Amino acid sequence: MFSIIQAAGWPIWPLVACSVLALALVIERFTSLKIRKVAPPKLLDEAITVSRAAIPSPDVVAQLEQNSLLGEVLASGFRALNANPRISEDDLRATLEGAGRQAAHKLERYLAALATIASAAPLLGLLGTVIGMIEIFGSQAGGGGVSNAAGGNPAQLAQGISIALYNTAFGLMVAIPSLIFWRYFRARVDGYLLTMELAAERFVRHLNNLRK
């Protein structure tokens, strides 16, 4: 592997850095976007059950907030109703929407960076290809003689071809998985956002009934 990197020349180092960063982002997103950390399936029903008669104690609300991102949204509704029992339904809804936007921001964290890598890697590969072509043309422009121009510098010619091909291939090897994982995480985040939106809507109706 190191011999390939050496043959590809210095243009491949930005691609190596992009590949390491993309791998770190993919691992981080897989860890952070687990369903138990975002929207546990039974959390909404449990929150409604413990608040059938009254708002739960602050300890229970704090525990709910630390449970997951959905827990943070639901806890914001409890806190708003606890701070102002006469709060209007619109204000209550606005409170949960604000907490939902914060949760959405956390869900979408690093996705833009992964998309940037997917877009930039082919361009970095193309840069390496252009540099390799420059090396090739440079090898053909040796001393100006007929024989020299025809034969060129074989070592420099081989180096230019290596730079061009390795960088093109490595750029695609970085870009394609990055794009696939970005689309996968984007779809997963959209699914979570829909789940949280529906849960918040149902929870607002529950809190409104509790407020009355």
Q: DSSP character for 87?
A: -
Rounded Cα–Cα distance for residues 68 and 43 (Å): 9
**pLDDT in 10s for each residue of the chain, 212 residues:** 556 666 556 778 888 899 999 999 999 999 999 999 999 999 999 999 998 888 888 999 999 999 999 999 999 999 999 888 888 889 999 999 999 999 999 999 999 999 999 999 999 888 888 887 877 776 665 554 444 444 556 666 766 777 778 888 889 999 999 999 999 999 999 999 999 999 999 999 999 887 76
| 66 in Cβ contact with 73 (< 8 Å) | no
Contact 110, 99 (CB under 8 A): no
At residue 47's C-alpha, the angle toward residues 41 and 51, to 5°, is 160
| Distance, CA of 169 to CA of 176 (rounded, Å) | 11
Query: What contacts 42, CB < 8 A, 6 or more positions away?
Result: none
CA atoms within 13 A on the CB side of 12: 21
- Where along the chain do its domains lie? 2-211
pTM: 0.82
State the pLDDT at residue 156.
Answer: 67
